[in-house]
Structure 1
Amino acid sequence: MALLEDPIATARLMTREVRTGERDGVATRIAVARRTYRTDQADLWDALTDAERLPRWFLPVSGDLKVGGRYQFEGQAGGVVEECDAPRTLAVTWEFGGTVSWLRVNLLPADDGTTFELVHEAVVDPDMWAQFGPGAVGIGWDLALMGLGLHLDSGAAVDPAEGLRFPLTPEGLDFVRTAAAGWCDAAIADGDDPEAARASAQGSVTFYTVEPDGA
């Protein structure tokens, strides 16, 4: 059974922005994703921060979930909780594969629910950016936040196995291609060469939609 009836429309619920930044004199690239969910701030905050609820749409989490404490997502990133202002702002380091980036989530009241804003800043290897562009991190967040939307709409848990298979399905391919195009447009708006940005977008689509053995 498909996770989404209309994957293209769901992917278009997200607005995407790319910025160029700097930390301690080092250039960074910043991916910004925004989506409005049909729920209030308290419910969305709970879905993002409650250790019992996070696995229903993302991953099991452990650690000391307070400012200054370390957290760890099972099989994924960990880091330090740097700021927590419920139910508005959460900021953490995002440490994975020997790299450190910075993640900030802002929740803003909206007429039809709550706007979720994710700001992910990283020092990016130029060769990696040329190969995958912002879609390398952006599409991953698109997929995770799709799962958050499914959970918020139904109250049920998203099947992790089905979530992993999703990008390999026709519906998943439509979703990933639409998300990649959005990140490509955002990179071009930030000054990237259009031809190079489109090539990077195709690289990110391939990364998410081809099984590791190339099948």
Structure 2
Amino acid sequence: MKDVLDELAAVHRRMGTGSLPAGEAYTVELRRRYDAEIDDVWDAITRPERLRRWLRPVTGDLRLGGTFELEGGEHGEILRCEPPRLLGVSWLFGPEADAWPGTSEVDVRLAPDPTGGTEFTLIHAAAVGEPMFPTYGPGAGGVGWDLALLTLARLLADGEIADHEEFGKSSDGREFSRRSAAAWGRAHLAAGGEPEQVAAAVAATTAFYVPDPT
């Protein structure tokens, strides 16, 4: 469990604001370092054979301007691709999402560090009107990304094949998700969230990711 919590502590989380084609947006930002060369990290986030090992299987026309779909429903368009430093996609979920283009985007930015590792930044921007935010706050997507980046860390470290959704159901995974939800609550407070609203959002996020087993 200590290694898992060390990975949780390795991530710097921030909630902010931004803009999308659909208008004003809120952002969740996850920033951390991976002890792997930038080309290796880029390969892990773009090659389908490796992407499926830490996120989910992906299909589609995987080039700039093409579209993708993850097993489970997330889909979108590849908006930006500058190997090995920037990947940007629209990020939609469910068929009804196509009625609101420009409402959610994910950027992954990579930069080499002097020690041979890689600085990794993921920014997920979602339109302010997106219905999950008032209930769950930044943890709505933040906890899921925390779980995915933990699995990516394992893949980069030793090639381990893992399923972050299955891990989330384990006792260690449930504790990780609880602590991740609390960490996103702290990021929400730091961004100016009202304490009562933040506490309610953390409770809702925790209940979503760590449901009562009974």
**TM-score for both structures, normalised by structure 2:** 0.89
How far does residue 184 in structure 1 lie from its aligned partner after superposition? 1.1
SS in 2 for 1:144: helix
CA-to-aligned-CA distance 1:117-148 (integer Å, 9 cap, x gap): 00100014476323211001000000011110
Q: 1:105 aligns with which of 90, 103, 108?
A: 108
Regions of 4+ moved over 4 Å:
none
CA–CA separation in structure 2 for the residues paired with 1:125 and 1:154: 40
**TM-score for both structures, normalised by structure 1:** 0.89
Q: Is 1:13 equivalent to 2:10 in the alignment?
A: yes
Q: 1:60 aligns with which of 49, 52, 57?
A: 57
Aligned residue for 2:25?
Answer: 28
Higher deviation after alignment, 6-15 or 126-135 = 126-135
Higher deviation after alignment, 110-119 or 34-43 = 110-119
Higher deviation after alignment, 11-20 or 124-133 = 124-133
Aligned residue for 1:43?
Answer: 40
SS in 1 for 2:132: helix
Percent identity over paired residues:
37
Q: How many residues align?
A: 207
CA–CA separation in structure 2 for the residues paired with 1:25 and 1:14: 29
Aligned residue for 2:198?
Answer: 197
Higher deviation after alignment, 47-56 or 164-173 = 164-173
Aligned residue for 1:121?
Answer: 125
How far does residue 166 in structure 1 lie from its aligned partner after superposition? 2.4
CA–CA separation in structure 1 for the residues paired with 2:38 and 2:26: 28
Mark the runs of 5 or more structure 2 residues left unpaired by the alignment.
Answer: 98-102
CA-to-aligned-CA distance 1:147-199 (integer Å, 9 cap, x gap): 100111111321x3xx3332233312221122112211111121111221122
Aligned residue for 2:100?
Answer: none
Aligned residue for 1:178?
Answer: 179
CA–CA separation in structure 2 for the residues paired with 1:150 and 1:25: 36
CA–CA separation in structure 1 for the residues paired with 2:110 and 2:196: 35
